[in-house]
Amino acid sequence: MSTATAPKVGFVSLGCPKATVDSERILTQLRMEGYEVVPTYQDADVVVVNTCGFIDSAKAESLDAIGEALAENGRVIVTGCMGVSESAIRDVHPSVLAVTGPQQYEQVVNAVHEVVPPNIEHNPLIDLVPPQGIKLTPRHYAYLKISEGCNHSCSFCIIPSMRGKLVSRPVGDVLSEAQRLVKAGVKELLVISQDTSAYGVDLKYKTDFWDGRPVKTRMLELCETLSSMGVWVRLHYVYPYPNVDDVIPLMAAGKLLPYLDIPFQHASPKVLKAMKRPAFEDRTLARIKQWREICPQLTIRSTFIVGFPGETEEDFQYLLDWLTEAQLDRVGCFQYSPVDGAPANDMNLEIVPDDVKQDRWDRFMAHQQAISTARLQRKIGLEMDVLIDEVDHEGAVGRSWADAPEIDGSVFIETTAVQPGDKVRVRIVDADEYDMWAELV
């Protein structure tokens, strides 16, 4: 599609999968208008940097990326989560051309128009864009964003103030996008939002239409319909509300990947209360047990925060004991770091010193690694399907249904006779704390 006259845009996409989806939408629009997306600063007429502003290290990374784009190209537009604090960007990089916030697709595109006008002779032929839009993920998997914003007010989080209250996409739109993606070759859909179990609450679970039939804008109906599309469907950012029970039988029946990404963040009731976490109470362990009775192969991945203000040694020990009981498969852990503007900063709770945070993080990781390792070891000898992500001269790297891209482990297979996007049957021959090794069956 490269033409000498097409205006050229460089794009740097940082942050979480939700930001990636935003990037894809901006790129899709620009491609439809005839812009060419180029991979180097030197070739670009303007560079868009989609930033992340979630924690301090992400902000620093965003500022570095803006600085690099300014040094290498000079014409830079900033968008994304960090765009909500324009002054924080302009204080460091006063020469950026425009700053817009998350989901401000039109504003970003307008800013690009001002710097580099679209080629007015360009006829926006729809075939400039593949039917699934521009995907920044490999061709065989795609994120499917079902809503924006969040109705909760976790005390460490500024997402509700950055992204607003929950706004669900009508289920017909989501399903149409999913179908386009599947037709374009996507083999795995990763459902994302800030709170997937709350999908449709804001629309009062309104009935929408898809493929000539009524479908409710609700997690269960969304999952049921997605599961009829013949691809892997994986749920992220699920909170353990009672309605999650409804999708477990779909997982047990093999319709939905038996995988739940639930950001528990902590287990101590006192810390969870201070964090103002939704849907967490003493029964969570009982729920997990009940889910596993219905669907024994269920994989649960989660993230936790250690060193939240007010966390005592007793709270931390409670968390370790909870992990022993919960037997989660995949776990990430962060040391708490205050986020500007988050309510937790004003709660007058005792700050946990950095050395204590580090010590708890080390103990947490060692504790959970033993659990994850033991759970992976049990898979040695099993046969399972693996979706191939990459192939090089040394072999293939894929993922089982229990592994989400980028955050979980990989399955290494000694073969070059497969392609990215292939689904192959393997037997697991070895495992460590994260990854598995397998042979083709």
> Token pair of 361, please?
């993080």
Integer Cα distance of 224 and 215 in angstroms: 10
DSSP 8-state secondary structure symbol assigned to residue 265: B
- Whether 436 and 409 have beta carbons less than 8 Å apart is answered as yes
Write phi, then psi, for 428 (nearest 5 degrees): -75, 130
Query: According to the binding rule CB under 6 A, does residue 326 interact with ligand SF4?
Result: no
Known binding residue 150? Answer is: yes
Query: According to the binding rule CB under 6 A, does residue 155 interact with ligand SF4?
Result: no
**DSSP string computed for 271-284:** HHHHHT-TT--TTH
Known binding residue 333? Answer is: no
Q: Pick the binder of ligand SF4 from 19, 66, 157, 426 (CB under 6 A).
A: 157
- Residue 167 vs 380, nearer CB to ligand SF4: 167
- Residue 238 vs 388, nearer CB to ligand SF4: 238
| Torsion region of 372: left, alpha or beta (phi above 0 gives left; psi -120 to 50 gives alpha) | alpha
Task: Write down the least CB distance from residue 160 to ligand SF4, Å.
Answer: 5
Interface with ligand SF4 by CB under 6 A: which range of 135-143, 156-164, 215-223, 382-390? 156-164
- Work out the burial of residue 264: count CB atoms within 10 Å of its CB; fewer than 13 is exposed, 13-18 middle, 19 or more buried: buried
- Residue 44 vs 55, nearer CB to ligand SF4: 55
Q: What character string, x for contact with ligand SF4 (CB under 6 A) and - otherwise, covers 271-300? A: -------x----------------------
Integer Cα distance of 244 and 183 in angstroms: 28
Q: Pick the binder of ligand SF4 from 13, 194, 302, 368 (CB under 6 A).
A: 194
Q: Pick the binder of ligand SF4 from 55, 84, 98, 159 (CB under 6 A).
A: 159
Query: According to the binding rule CB under 6 A, does residue 150 interact with ligand SF4?
Result: yes
In 30-129, DSSP assigns E strands to 36-37, 46-51, 76-80, 98-99
In 161-292, DSSP assigns E strands to 167-168, 188-192, 207-210, 213-216, 232-235, 259-261
Q: Pick the binder of ligand SF4 from 32, 128, 154, 190 (CB under 6 A).
A: 154
Q: Which residues of 393-425 are buried (b: 16+ CB within 10 A; e: fewer)?
A: eeebbbbbbbbbbeebbbbbbeeeebebbeebe
Task: Write down the least CB distance from residue 194 to ligand SF4, Å.
Answer: 4
Interface with ligand SF4 by CB under 6 A: which range of 115-123, 140-148, 150-158, 222-230? 150-158
Q: Pick the binder of ligand SF4 from 67, 118, 130, 160 (CB under 6 A).
A: 160
Angle between helices 284-294 and 313-326 in degrees, nearest 10: 10
Q: Pick the binder of ligand SF4 from 75, 152, 367, 375 (CB under 6 A).
A: 152
Known binding residue 223? Answer is: no
- Residue 26 vs 154, nearer CB to ligand SF4: 154
Write phi, then psi, for 70 (nearest 5 degrees): -65, -45
Binding site for ligand SF4 (CB under 6 A): 150, 152-154, 157, 159-160, 194-195, 278
Q: Which residues are documented as binding site?
A: 16, 52, 81, 150, 154, 157
Q: Which residues are documented as binding site for [4Fe-4S] cluster?
A: 16, 52, 81, 150, 154, 157
